[in-house]
């Protein structure tokens, strides 16, 4: 064991000869058992040994050593060990820093994921809840009319029921996602999904003095998808288009188009005539928490992107030459290649 380094034991004092007694004095209390077991095995064996242990110095410093030794001589009482003692303190400290950084990264990732999930729930459920409140207020106004307008009241209550059901479906979908289940996959006609989304937020469009023009392709292949999720994508895009035209005087026009691209994918585009998007913001639009509005949460487009990615599709945005912006998404056709005629 005379390969133990005086430099390691005395912190650089080369004048002190290495010896087992000095080593025992310096071995960290938590490593002494392993050290003694290795020493006992080495004393009665011709096998090489490889051990890592710590040294504890009187001033509280700790060094990590890696000891490699090879036994020479055939007599147990006259055996020498030739080897090396490596100070691996810096490497151990680096490893510990790396583990700490990884642990911190995992913690931050969990917090971020939780924040994104909370923001997603608040954003998605907030829309139908806001619509319920709006329709409830309208319902009360129609009730206070003399005589009450029962047709309008019935329409408001119907809208409230639809929005309540949509909120419940969103919560159920979030619970499903938390369990790791994939989205529902059923053959869907995308034009029907667009119509359903428009019907759900019809009063929002009217309230913001908006108009919506449909430009649907007559023949489209079915797509496989989750109807509620795709409705949510369209609702987000339509509401974003209306909000982008908040400063536009007079009628605020939206155009919703559907078509098939050259690769056979189904494409839906929502075109507005607002202020458009700054070019340097275009690449960041679908990042979580990125928003250009002071009151925005920055989750709507991120949710759209994640939903479409789960469906094997993609989403993108571009500015219109005549002003405003167009948000488009594509979805692959169902394997059946069924065609819907409208």
DSSP string, 217-238: -SEEE-EEE-HHHHHHHHHHHH
The average pLDDT across 147-170 equals 83
Task: Give the pLDDT confidence of 119-158 residue by residue, as tens digits.
Answer: 556 666 777 787 888 888 888 888 888 888 888 888 888 8
Q: b/e string for 303-331 if b means 16 or more Cβ within 10 A?
A: bbbbbbeebebebebeeeeeebbbbbbbb
Residue linked to tokens 């585009």: 269
Name which of 309, 157, 170 is nearest 227 in CA terms.
170
Does the pLDDT of residue 270 top 90, yes or no?
Answer: yes
pLDDT, position 191: 95
Task: Give the pLDDT confidence of 179-201 residue by residue, as tens digits.
Answer: 555 667 889 999 999 998 888 77
Q: Give the domain ranges of the chain.
A: 6-87, 114-181, 182-342
Topology annotation, domain 182-342: Heat Shock Protein 90 (3.30.565)
Q: How many CB atoms lie within 10 A of CB 285?
A: 22
The average pLDDT across 316-342 equals 79
CATH code, 114-181 = 1.10.287
pLDDT, position 4: 44
For the four alpha carbons of 126, 128, 132 and 135, in that order, the dihedral sign comes to positive
Query: Looking at 77-86, 238-247, 268-277, which range is the least confident one?
Result: 77-86
Task: Give the pLDDT confidence of 79-114 residue by residue, as tens digits.
Answer: 666 777 788 888 888 888 877 776 666 565 555 545
Does the pLDDT of residue 206 top 70, yes or no?
Answer: yes
pLDDT, position 73: 64
Q: β-pairing, 62-72 with 219-221?
A: unpaired
Name which of 47, 77, 61 is nearest 8 in CA terms.
61
Task: Give the pLDDT confidence of 15-71 residue by residue, as tens digits.
Answer: 455 566 777 777 888 888 877 777 777 666 666 777 788 888 888 888 888 887 777
pLDDT, position 57: 80
Q: Does domain 6-87 have CATH number 2.60.120.200?
A: no
Does the pLDDT of residue 339 top 60, yes or no?
Answer: no
Q: Does the fold of domain 114-181 match that of domain 6-87?
A: no
The chain-wide mean pLDDT, for the chain, equals 77
pLDDT, position 7: 44
């Amino acid at each position: 064991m005379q390969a133990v380094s005086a430099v390691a034991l005395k912190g650089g004092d080369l004048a002190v000869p290495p010896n087992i007694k000095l080593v025992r004095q310096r071995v960290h209390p938590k490593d002494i058992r392993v050290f003694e077991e290795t020493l006992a095995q080495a004393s009665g064996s011709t096998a090489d040994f490889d051990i890592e242990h710590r040294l504890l110095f009187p001033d509280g410093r700790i060094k990590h050593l890696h000891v490699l030794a090879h036994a020479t001589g055939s007599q147990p009482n006259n055996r020498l060990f030739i080897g090396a003692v490596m100070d691996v303190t810096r490497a151990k400290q680096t490893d510990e820093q790396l583990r700490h950084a990884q642990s911190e990264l995992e913690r931050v990732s969990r917090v971020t994921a939780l924040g994104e999930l909370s923001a997603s729930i608040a954003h998605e459920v907030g829309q139908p809840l806001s619509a319920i409140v709006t329709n409830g207020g309208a319902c009360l106004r129609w009730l206070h009319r003399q005589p009450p307008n029962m047709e309008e009241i019935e329409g408001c209550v119907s809208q409230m029921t639809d929005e309540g059901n949509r909120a419940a479906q969103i919560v159920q979908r979030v619970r499903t996602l938390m369990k790791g289940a994939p989205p529902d996959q059923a053959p869907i006609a995308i034009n029907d999904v667009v119509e359903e989304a428009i019907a759900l937020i019809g009063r929002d469009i009217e309230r913001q003095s908006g108009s919506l023009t449909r430009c649907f392709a007559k023949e489209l292949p079915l797509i496989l998808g989750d109807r509620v999720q795709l409705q949510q994508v369209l609702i987000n895009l339509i509401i974003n288009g209306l909000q982008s035209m908040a400063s536009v005087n007079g009628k605020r026009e939206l155009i919703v188009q559907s078509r098939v691209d050259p690769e056979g994918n189904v494409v839906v585009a929502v075109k507005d005539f607002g202020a458009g998007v700054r070019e340097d913001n275009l690449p960041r639009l679908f990042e979580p928490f990125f928003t250009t509005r002071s009151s925005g949460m920055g989750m709507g487009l991120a949710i759209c992107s994640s939903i479409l990615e789960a469906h094997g599709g993609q989403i993108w945005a571009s500015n219109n030459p005549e002003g405003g912006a167009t948000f488009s998404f594509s979805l692959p056709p169902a394997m059946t290649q069924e065609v819907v005629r409208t």
